[in-house]
Structure 1
């Protein structure tokens, strides 16, 4: 694999993990967002999904965003009869966001981002060494 292809693969990984971290940050920011109307649905967790795609110009397999989907898991019901978003029975639906899961996902995304940065730095270093040898 040549330099351009390896940089392209790592750059696509950086873009993918950056998007993933933004989606996770949105989930964390809205983990306590309830419905605006009584009995309405609260914020629904979102998940970024990716796919591998071959770049025809370089022949390298890169990461592309497949989409950002809503997590279809159930909301949590909490009994709070005085809350403005409570339904007729006094229950408020809470988002299906688990802070611990999101934190673990964020850490994994950060590690992947760092790995791609390290790969770019290694390619840069090898290129500089090659140039130095050719002098």
Structure 2
């Protein structure tokens, strides 16, 4: 990270950015619950962020960043539905295998983690302001 130590604001900011990516991927997954496609390749696949933790020796703090976003979860489910306009020549469609309950839990966890980091920033700001007031 260089010679400058990271501030608590930078550490919390990075964590908030990572959780925002997690919330966005979860929102995308939830938006695609039950979507269908004409082939398994075209069917929606669940996406998840992969986090990378780094240790900053100058500050002694760890940070988290999103390394990449990957497809995860089960394969699309084949269903016979010959009346569907997306059905293939055999009358099959493929439904996304998004686990709605798991996605809702992920959304709650990422929202709580985001909020925790907001509170860390507010506490740090408050402590800095209180410290400055001591000098008066």
TM-score for the superposition, normalised by structure 1 = 0.86
Q: Which runs of 5+ in 1 are unaligned?
A: none
Q: Report 1:99-118 matches (<5 A).
A: 99-118=100-119
Equivalent position of 2:22 in the other structure: 20
Equivalent position of 1:129 in the other structure: 130
| Aligned-pair CA distance for 1:25 | 0.8
TM-score for the superposition, normalised by structure 2 = 0.85
**How many residues matched?**
132
Q: Deviations 1:18-73 (Å, cap 9, x if unpaired)?
A: 111011111111223322x4665311110111010134664421101111001152
Contact residue 51 and residue 65 of structure 1 kept, 8 A = yes
Higher strand fraction: Structure 1 or Structure 2? 2
Contact residue 44 and residue 76 of structure 2 kept, 8 A = no
Residues 1:68 and 2:69 aligned together: yes
Secondary structure, counterpart of 2:7 in structure 1: helix
In structure 1, how many angstroms separate the alpha carbons of the residues matched to 2:130 and 2:53? 31
Contact residue 78 and residue 93 of structure 2 kept, 8 A = yes
Contact residue 40 and residue 76 of structure 2 kept, 8 A = no
